[in-house]
Amino acid sequence: MSQKIAVVTGGTGGLGISMCQAMCDQGHKVIATYYPSDEMKAYAEDKQASLQTSGYDITLYPLDVTDFAGCQAFVSQLETDLGPIDILVNNAGITRDAPIKRMEADQWQAVIDTNLSSVFNMSKLVFEGMCERGWGRIVNISSLNGEKGQFGQANYAAAKAGIYGFTRSIAQEGARKGVTVNAISPGYIDTPMVRQVPEKVLNSIIEGIPVGRLGQPEEIARAVAFLTDEASGFITGTNLSINGGQYMS
């Protein structure tokens, strides 16, 4: 497959790093975005340097995926610097958990903005160009909890479930233009996001996973590489659940 320009939003996070590595392994020029703060810049640069020592050359850009104008500026800058985006992985996400009686409107909005509106922001900005060039791949990272719901995560589950409708809709719009759009719904993966869960709760979660363990970031990354491959052009509008058998739909 010829070298493509691949963008992974939140690409320096727990899953994002593995996705970047998998795309580098595919031979692509990989861009990871990180949240534009001094703290995150330092963190992202550290990750970039450690990847570089193991032979992975990723390019960093700051990006707040909730800011449509910022996304426009990012896409336009990147296109000037490197060329048009061929592969987009909408991976950035946050949680702000609380049961509905204690969930504040700002917790709701932040999660919807970061996990769902971001997918619109970035997809809208790359989709037309992909269609015009006759090739593109978009992968939206949803969640097991978007499929089944989760106590204390009404905001997150709603945002992640919203991704399915969005994915299926623009998959139809891109289908005859060589652009595929798919979702991946990871279950519990061994990342800092999941390690924040109290140990007792995490152990009971693991007990409920039929394969008896957390997933590894590489097990999600390989699915991203698969769905974005040249040879995956007949796969569009689907959701790939990768959860160790925890939820079989």
How crowded is residue 9: how many other Cβ atoms within 10 Å of its Cβ?
30
* Least distance (Å) between residue 202 CB and ligand NDP: 11
Instruction: Determine the Cα–Cα distance for residues 91 and 119; give it in Å rounded to an integer.
Output: 9
User: Which residue number, 95 or 236, has a Cβ lying nearer to ligand NDP?
Assistant: 95
User: Which residue number, 106 or 231, has a Cβ lying nearer to ligand NDP?
Assistant: 106
* Least distance (Å) between residue 120 CB and ligand NDP: 14
How crowded is residue 70: how many other Cβ atoms within 10 Å of its Cβ?
15
Measure CA 194 to chain center. 16
Q: Is residue 164 annotated as a catalytic residue, yes or no?
A: no
Instruction: Determine the Cα–Cα distance for residues 200 and 109; give it in Å rounded to an integer.
Output: 29
User: Which residue number, 118 or 236, has a Cβ lying nearer to ligand NDP?
Assistant: 118
Residues 6+ apart with CB under 8 A from 166: 116, 119, 120, 123, 140
How crowded is residue 47: how many other Cβ atoms within 10 Å of its Cβ?
21
- Alpha helix (H) residue ranges in 2-153: 14-25, 38-53, 68-81, 105-112, 118-133, 144-148
Catalytic one of 34, 61, 156, 164: 156
* Least distance (Å) between residue 151 CB and ligand NDP: 16
* Burial profile 138-148: b = 16 or more Cβ within 10 angstroms, e = fewer: bbbbbbbbbbb
By the criterion CB under 6 A, which residues form the site for ligand NDP?
9-10, 12-16, 33-35, 40, 63-66, 91-94, 114, 141, 143-144, 186, 188-189, 191-194
* Gap between the terminal Cα atoms of the chain: 33
* Least distance (Å) between residue 205 CB and ligand NDP: 10
* Least distance (Å) between residue 109 CB and ligand NDP: 12
User: Which residue number, 20 or 24, has a Cβ lying nearer to ligand NDP?
Assistant: 20
CB 111 within 8 A of CB 156: yes
User: Which residue number, 30 or 141, has a Cβ lying nearer to ligand NDP?
Assistant: 141
Q: Where in the sequence numbering do the catalytic residues fall?
A: 156
